[in-house]
Amino acid sequence: MQTIKFLDLQRITASFEPKLTTAVHKVLDSGWYLHGQETRLFEEEFAAFCHVSECIGVANGLDALYLTLQAKKDLCSWNDGDEVIVPAMTFIATAQAVVRAGLTPIFVDVTENALLSPSLIESVITSRTRAIVPVHLYGQTCDMDAIMKVADKYGLFVLEDAAQAHGGRVEGHTQRVGSLGHAAAFSFYPGKNLGALGDGGAVVSHDKILAERVRSLANYGAKEKYNHEYAGCNSRLDEIQAAILRVKLFRLDADNDKRRQIADLYRKIITNPAVKCLQHDSVYHIFPVFTANREALHQHLTEHGIQTLVHYPLAIHEQPCMQDYVVPGTSFPMAVKIARTELSLPISPVMTDDEVSAVINAVNSYTPL
Ligand SMILES: *Cc1c(COP(=O)(O)O)cnc(C)c1O
């Protein structure tokens, strides 16, 4: 029996050849490995792709989130401990970036789609609330209209965590994820829809002043060489990764379409009443299903040679590192429900029709005990 991998990165990389090898060799031969032409061009191309004016390549997605919050904190003189609203269901980086910037994460429960619930935001806003970080989880686009409405009403900064949603759109519109808030953070971790062959990240925004501060913070607090205005850090997207990302960006929309086609088949042909899919429009970084006895479904799929993962087994307020920020008496039932029942099926632009059918058949043949 052939194993169907959760994500076949080897096959994804091979599908871009020989372009990746050519791009890497070009950088090798250039003798210029950081802060060069490839990074500058990628920044331009990715900004245009996201329909924004500014893009800063950084070392990873966590840095993209952290640097944006730190830049905004510095520019607007936020105090240590000021509050930033994050969803209770996301990857840990969203909340850790807040803590790293000396700010306090305030958890808000999610909708059944695992997206920050706009109607719950207002109830946690205090005089110390400064920002909201909606996460386009699994590749779905958050209800940004509703979130921006609350943000405008209270003068809050909105940072999209777009690490799972490169190329995503507002359903029925041309607007892209990354252009819907005041700034957005992307990760180019190899498994993302736009993935490097190593670490990478980017901040995008319409805000020139914010972008300039992020760029400077990521460069030891210097706008020009050896003149360090702030205590910054070193966070760079390197030339080899930028060259690789330029090759892959060119095909991102087509790759996302392929993911959508597979998701449409999953949704249409998975008819097992014990397994629930989401209906929300998405670029399908992840295809989550929900089932009462997740371990049994995982076991069943493993026996059929299908790899699955869980995104994510703990809600953010359940993570050991976040216990200082859990307000007594609060609960996040939807985030917890998702953490207990979610299972992610294989999905990627390089899956074959046979693999897609095998996944569907295996899910449909599952009978809960
Ligand atoms: C991947 C991811 C990040 C962090 O990206 P890294 O590049 O791994 O630091 C942040 N937020 C979300 C939602 C992610 O999925």
Assign residue 327 the CATH number of its domain: 3.90.1150.10
Is the domain of 147 the same as that of 220? yes
> Would residue 280 count as lying in a domain?
yes
Q: Is 216 in the pocket of ligand 1 (CB under 6 A)?
A: no
Is the domain of 158 the same as that of 222? yes
Q: Identify the pLDDT of residue 225.
A: 85
Mean pLDDT of 149-158: 98
Q: Please report, for the domain that includes residue 82, its CATH number.
A: 3.40.640.10
**Ligand 1 geometric centre to CA of 285 (Å):** 12
Q: Identify the pLDDT of residue 98.
A: 98
Judge whether 92 and 321 are in contact, CB under 8 Å. yes
Q: What are phi and psi of 320, to 5 degrees?
A: -55, -40
Q: Identify the pLDDT of residue 2.
A: 84
Q: Is 201 in the pocket of ligand 1 (CB under 6 A)?
A: yes
Q: Is 91 in the pocket of ligand 1 (CB under 6 A)?
A: yes
Q: Is 207 in the pocket of ligand 1 (CB under 6 A)?
A: no
Q: Is 161 in the pocket of ligand 1 (CB under 6 A)?
A: yes
Q: Identify the pLDDT of residue 224.
A: 87
Mark which of 233, 249, 265 sits at the end of a domain.
Answer: 249
> For all residues of the chain together, what is the average pLDDT?
97
Query: Please, which pLDDT band fits residue 309 given cuts at 50, 70 and 90?
Result: very high
> Would residue 369 count as lying in a domain?
no
Question: In this predicted model, what pLDDT tens digit does every residue of 96-111 receive, in sequence order?
Answer: 999 999 999 999 999 9
- Rounded to an integer, what distance in angstroms lies between the CA atom of residue 151 and that of residue 270? 39
Is the domain of 39 the same as that of 66? yes
Q: Whose CA is nearest to atom 14 of ligand 1?
A: 163
Is the domain of 59 the same as that of 184? yes
Q: Identify the pLDDT of residue 352.
A: 97
Token pair recorded at residue 235: 């966070």
Q: Identify the pLDDT of residue 281.
A: 85
Helix (H, G, I), strand (E, B) or coil at 24: helix
Residue showing tokens 């510095």: 74
Q: Whose CA is nearest to atom 10 of ligand 1?
A: 93
- Structural domain span for residue 341: 252-364
> Would residue 131 count as lying in a domain?
yes
Residue 214: what residue type?
A: V
Q: Is 138 in the pocket of ligand 1 (CB under 6 A)?
A: no
- Rounded to an integer, what distance in angstroms lies between the CA atom of residue 15 and that of residue 351? 11
Q: Is 61 in the pocket of ligand 1 (CB under 6 A)?
A: yes
Is the domain of 313 the same as that of 198? no
> Would residue 2 count as lying in a domain?
no
Q: Whose CA is nearest to atom 4 of ligand 1?
A: 61
Q: Is 140 in the pocket of ligand 1 (CB under 6 A)?
A: no
Is residue 67 scored above 90 in pLDDT?
Answer: yes
**Ligand 1 geometric centre to CA of 188 (Å):** 8
Is residue 7 scored above 90 in pLDDT?
Answer: yes
Q: Identify the pLDDT of residue 108.
A: 98
**Ligand 1 geometric centre to CA of 227 (Å):** 31
Is residue 15 scored above 80 in pLDDT?
Answer: yes
Indicate the top mutation candidate among 58, 99, 137, 164 to test ligand 1's pocket, ranked by most ligand atoms within 8 A of CB. 164
Indicate the top mutation candidate among 58, 91, 283, 309 to test ligand 1's pocket, ranked by most ligand atoms within 8 A of CB. 91
Q: Is 135 in the pocket of ligand 1 (CB under 6 A)?
A: yes
201 CA: nearest ligand 1 atom:
7
**DSSP of 210-262:** HHHHHHHHTBTTEEETTEE-S---B----HHHHHHHHHHHTTHHHHHHHHHHH
Is the domain of 31 the same as that of 164? yes
Bridge partners (DSSP) listed for residue 161:
135, 185
Question: In this predicted model, what pLDDT tens digit does every residue of 223-272 receive, in sequence order?
Answer: 888 889 998 999 999 999 999 999 999 999 999 999 999 999 999 999 99
Q: Is 235 in the pocket of ligand 1 (CB under 6 A)?
A: no
157-161 sheet: strands from edge to edge: 54-58, 201-205, 183-187, 157-161, 129-132, 83-87, 104-108
Distances from the Cα of 338 to the Cα of 72, 86, 127, 224, angstroms: 32, 16, 31, 47
Mean pLDDT of 168-197: 96
Mark which of 249, 274, 293 sits at the end of a domain.
Answer: 249
Mean pLDDT of 135-149: 97
> Would residue 142 count as lying in a domain?
yes
> Would residue 180 count as lying in a domain?
yes
Is the domain of 38 the same as that of 137? yes
| pTM of the model as a whole | 0.98
Judge whether 13 and 349 are in contact, CB under 8 Å. no
> How many structural domains compose the chain?
2
Q: Is 87 in the pocket of ligand 1 (CB under 6 A)?
A: no
Q: Give the 3-state secondary structure percentages of the chain, helix then strand then coil, rounded to 5.
A: 40, 15, 40
The packing angle between helices 93-100 and 61-76, to 10°, is 40
**Ligand 1 geometric centre to CA of 113 (Å):** 19
Is residue 195 scored above 90 in pLDDT?
Answer: yes
Q: Is 113 in the pocket of ligand 1 (CB under 6 A)?
A: no
Is the domain of 192 the same as that of 264? no
Q: Identify the pLDDT of residue 20.
A: 98
> Would residue 46 count as lying in a domain?
yes
Residue 298, number of CB atoms within 10 A of its CB: 17
User: Percent of the chain beyond pLDDT 70?
Assistant: 100
Is the domain of 170 the same as that of 191? yes
97 CA: nearest ligand 1 atom:
10
**DSSP of 254-287:** HHHHHHHHHHHHHHHH---TT-EE--S-B--SSE
Mark which of 198, 220, 249 sits at the end of a domain.
Answer: 249
Query: Please, which pLDDT band fits residue 280 given cuts at 50, 70 and 90?
Result: confident
Is the domain of 74 the same as that of 156? yes
> Would residue 3 count as lying in a domain?
no
Is the domain of 235 the same as that of 269? no
Is the domain of 353 the same as that of 335? yes
